[in-house]
A and B are shown apart, each in its own frame.
Chain A
Amino acid sequence: HFFPNVSSIPPSLLPNTTAGAWDSFHKLSGCHSGQTVPGISKLKTYLHYFGYIGNASKNYTDDFDDGLESAVKNYQLNFNLNTTGELDEPTVNQILKPRCGVADIINGSSTMNSGKAASMVGHTVAH
């Protein structure tokens, strides 16, 4: 659907909510390690897709386990959030935002601000 601006969009095409693919994550706000909450397994799939949880699994549990806490901390680090390891409101709000489908962490190594270090190494070698 392409429109020059919003006023030209037929109202029937404009959903009046921000219900997107990840809307169910709202319910996870406040969750922390040690809890078991329905819906956490879907968040684990999301974090795996974007590189924060390494090993793929078809049946993630709803347990807020150590692996999830570590993934949430990595996510918070990448997005300049407090690294609480908990699903606090700022973290959930960021997760809900529309985004690019490319992973933030690829092969478990390149984080979102590793470029400078890589280019410095390259630069040093060039010298």
Chain B
Amino acid sequence: YSFFPGMPRWSSRRRDLTYAFDPRNQLSDDVKRVFGNAFTRWSEWTPLTFTESSNYDTADLKIGFYGGNHGDGEDFDGVLGTLAHAFAPPRGLLHLDSDETWIIDDVFASGSPSAMDLESVAVHEIGHLLGLGHSSIEEAVMFPTISSGVRKVELARDDVEGIQVLYGSNPDSNSTVGPTFGGRETSGAH
């Protein structure tokens, strides 16, 4: 695991974070549910909680889907290539490439060379929102690359160790016993 320079994190007074979606995207409840699941992957292991807000302007974490040049100097590049990016605390911005073909339920039937599992990418980018950098551990959610047709949503031990350096463990569960560490689920095609 790694951190951003200076190890930025949300302050100890900010444990209950809110998130909202750019209203211009008009996302369906199914898509929003995927992000709710993705946030839960991190709250399982930390004292943090995440609550969806309908007020985009005041939310701590802002999520949006944009194509190409979307004004932050980090242009997206169409199908595949760069999928998404997020900014270190306390900026709280998470952007996803609207040109991707996002699968929100069953990536296993994939076989498609370009369909990406949305929850896998969401879990990874939320790690950045909380202060984690990339990891060299391939099983880790924070490993930078992911192939189409691959679903990787449960935190690996490396992810948990990193996030608990920043925030400590979930007071409701013992850090040695808790959700199972994740593994990588891949479609038969891979």
Q: For chain A residues 1-45, which have a beta carbon within 8 Å of chain B?
A: 1-7, 9, 13-22
Task: Check if A110 sits within 8 Å of B3, measured CB to CB.
Answer: yes
Q: In the complex, how many residues of chain B place their beta carbon closer than 8 angstroms to a beta carbon of chain A?
A: 59
Q: Contacts of A5 on B, CB cut-off 8 Å? A: 103, 105-107, 109-110
Q: In the complex, how many residues of chain A place their beta carbon closer than 8 angstroms to a beta carbon of chain B?
A: 43
Task: Check if B81 sits within 8 Å of A20, measured CB to CB.
Answer: yes
Task: Check if A116 sits within 8 Å of B147, measured CB to CB.
Answer: no
Q: Which A-chain residue is minimally distant from B98 (CB atoms)?
A: A1
Q: Contacts of B50 on A, CB cut-off 8 Å? A: none
Judged by a CB distance under 8 angstroms, whether A56 is at the interface is no
Q: For chain B residues 78-103, which have a beta carbon within 8 Å of chain A?
A: 78-86, 98, 100-103
Q: Contacts of A110 on B, CB cut-off 8 Å? A: 2-5, 133
Q: For chain B residues 114-173, which have a beta carbon within 8 Å of chain A?
A: 114-116, 118, 121, 124-125, 128, 132-138, 144-148, 161-162, 165
Task: Check if B112 sits within 8 Å of A21, measured CB to CB.
Answer: no
- Additional A-B contact list (15), CB under 8 Å, known A20-B78, A79-B136, A119-B165: A1-B102, A5-B105, A15-B114, A20-B79, A21-B79, A97-B145, A97-B146, A99-B83, A99-B146, A101-B82, A104-B144, A110-B5, A115-B3, A115-B133, A118-B2
Give chain A's interface residues, CB within 8 Å of chain B: 1-7, 9, 13-22, 50, 78-80, 94, 97-102, 104, 106-107, 109-116, 118-119, 122
Give chain B's interface residues, CB within 8 Å of chain A: 1-5, 7, 27-28, 30-31, 74, 76-86, 98, 100-107, 109-116, 118, 121, 124-125, 128, 132-138, 144-148, 161-162, 165
